[in-house]
Amino acid sequence: MTHDLVAALRPLLTAEAGAEAHAAGAEPADLEQEVWLRLLEHLATAGPPADPQGWLRRAVRAEARRSRRRARAELPYETEPADDGGRGPEQAVLTAARHRALRDAVSRLPGRCPRLLEALLSPKDLTYREIARELGISQGSLGPERSRCLGCLRRLLTAEVAAR
């Protein structure tokens, strides 16, 4: 039953999400993912909707509105010049060396990890939406991908520190 419902709604959801995503400032795949989650919640609490196509259209619009609200609330962090706390040139050199070592380790990571972490470490302070667009992946995939990449980086740096 659920599989039939999903198969029947997939083309409509793809079309609706594609139509609403641009105006909402979201990716169509992200809207689709959110609506599928809403459908699963609805199935778990109330069973299948009486009018699946109507429910789906309303859900896509509701998710688009939610996405617009999130986009308005996203603000970049204010960047202020780093206060060196009166430390001398030795501390500045050590800090620069740590930054170079981190960037070198990031560049040796597998797959999309170097590009993702470079985007996250960027001084431009990109939002998840901007990073997802730049990397060509779903915004909803960034969190799990980031966790995986940071785990790889942690293992890489732990091995390097232990080797020294």
Could you state, in order of their start, the residue ranges of all structural domains in the chain?
2-73, 89-163
Residue 117: is its pLDDT beyond 70?
yes
- How far apart CA 106 and CA 110 sit, in angstroms, is 9
With a CB cutoff of 8 Å and minimum separation 6, the contacts of 49 are 42, 55
- pLDDT tens column, 43-58: 999 999 999 999 999 9
User: CB under 8 Å, gap of 24 or more: what pairs does 55-58 form?
Assistant: 56/9, 56/12, 56/13, 56/16, 57/12, 57/16
Give the pLDDT confidence score for residue 70 in this predicted structure: 84
CA 163 vs. chain centroid, Å, equals: 33
Q: Evaluate whether the domain defined by 89-163 bears CATH number 1.10.10.10.
A: yes
pLDDT in the model for residue 101? 85
The confidence band for 163, taking pLDDT boundaries of 50, 70 and 90, is low
